[in-house]
Amino acid sequence: MEAGVQKDRILALLQDIVGPEHASADPALLIPYSRDQHWPIAGTHMPDYVVRPKTVEEVQKILRLANRYRIPVIPVSSNTNIRGLTIPHHGGIMLDLKRMDYLEIDPKNRAAIIGPGVSCARLADEAEKYGLRPIIPGAPSTVNMLSNCLLRGVSNIGPRYGHTGDQVLGMEVVLPTGEILYTGAAAFPNVGPYFRYFGPDWAGLFQGQPGIMGVVTKMAVRLYPLPERQEMFMCGFTQRPGEPEEGPLRRAMAFMHDLMLHDPPVITFGVILHWVAAAITMVEKREDIDSFKGTLGDWVVLGSIEGSREFVKYGRSVVEKEIKKHWDNIDEGREVVLMSKMLKDELKAARRIFRWFRLGNYYALAWWGPLDRFDKYYFEALKIWRELGITEELSIVGIPAYPYVGQLTYYEFDSFWDSTDPQNTEKIKKFTEIMYQKMIDLGIYCWFRPYPGVYESTIPRLKGCMGELWYKVKKLLDPNNIMNPGKVFPE
């Protein structure tokens, strides 16, 4: 059978499963799936088909068909991924799950059951009707919650309650063979899917990797009571006369560290921001970003205090005490203020983060590590950045997380560059390659996401047999390697 005839036959079989209007090989519909915002680094590739199932039974049939004909399958939901994780480098079927938008709020059990088509904004709005809220990631509100939980996103209220990956209770998963796996309590009849564990952590097997083990079609996640009151604080740290370049950051680190040590936890969210990251979040106009430098300081600590009025009063007193301990100059911009409606809305479902795309292509490289290495991470990277001759600012954010064991902190390098300049893009690529090794030399807990090339360079450096065992599990579940091939493990 010739390639064109075979492709037409596959398309007809897919249309038989989901209906003619939900399966297509039209290049005009395929182009948006061929790239994401990370494409100058990750590259582009056209899929062969886009298929939009509605039911778990349709997903099962699609995967069985893909296995029969050895066709790659790449699951996607909101298409807001910016890390190159779902670019179909080997072609195949883009399994667009937006139509699987099942949502059930269970206020009695403080949980929600969601499909992959449920956005963070929709989940937050529905939960609010019951006086509840989910853990919302620091990502555009159009992001789908299920996918973010799978990729263990970082939350705006994560330091207290854990991040999005910690919110998963149970899953319904279609394995590459078409079989269905229920994880934890979801596997038990006559009860809700509200406990994660039975035997191994089966849910964890499908997290931290971009759809290479199967397709998650339902997920139960935790919900939390809406706080009675919310307040925020901001503190700026500026380089003092005679102080080294690292000085303001080190003082910000000490301030955040002391806040994180308080028991019970007093802050719901806390982040250390390089001034560029702070400016992009706070200013209204692009032209005001450069003039923002020095407004609050070279480094900005932003945080929130939430809970009952009594608890917020207590938390505010703790923050003010730490401010007095860490500042001897009242002009440094430190303040504790009521949370604005804008920031409250952002913690409910992030929207202003779209502003991060105003300066050009958004570059990001993220990982987990200890807070006390913040300065080493940044200034070692800045040295390499400057040596490569990259003229854009290199920014960074650090978000510590409770229970703060090992000073656990999420980090992310950020920059915005003109991807129409091929020389500049090559410099960014070179920086990325260097940092894949340099960060391991400096000591990190793990990478945040499986960026293109990061696992290939990391797995050989891991101690023991983790990489080998991981690959064996992948081959066991996906013997024909149809699930997002080339991601995590090279072909």
Q: Which domains are present in the chain? A: 3-96 (3.30.43.10), 103-225 (3.30.465.10), 229-447 (3.40.462.10)
CA–CA gap between residue 403 and residue 158 (Å, rounded): 11
The one-digit pLDDT tens for each residue of the chain (491 residues) are 346 668 899 999 999 999 999 999 999 999 999 988 777 877 889 999 999 999 999 999 999 999 999 999 999 998 776 678 888 989 999 999 999 999 999 999 999 999 999 999 899 999 999 999 998 887 778 889 999 999 888 887 766 788 888 999 999 999 999 999 999 999 999 999 999 999 999 999 999 988 999 999 999 999 999 999 888 888 888 888 999 999 999 999 999 999 999 988 888 888 999 988 888 777 767 677 777 777 778 998 988 898 999 999 999 899 888 888 876 444 444 445 555 555 666 665 555 555 666 667 788 899 999 999 999 999 999 999 999 999 888 999 999 988 899 999 999 999 888 888 889 889 999 999 999 999 999 999 999 987 778 888 898 899 999 989 999 999 999 999 999 998 888 77
HEC string of 143-159 equals CEHHHHHHCCCCECCHH
SS3 of residue 389 by DSSP:
coil
Strand spans (E) along 56-150 = 73-76, 93-96, 103-106, 111-114, 132-133
Strands 93-96 and 49-51, sheet pairing? parallel
Compute and round to an integer the Cα radius of gyration of the chain.
Answer: 23
Give the single-character DSSP code of 330: G
| pTM summary value | 0.92
Q: Return the closest-CA partner of residue 40 out of 421, 442, 440.
A: 421
Structure tokens at 178: 């078409």
Structure tokens at 98: 């937006």
CA–CA gap between residue 139 and residue 357 (Å, rounded): 12
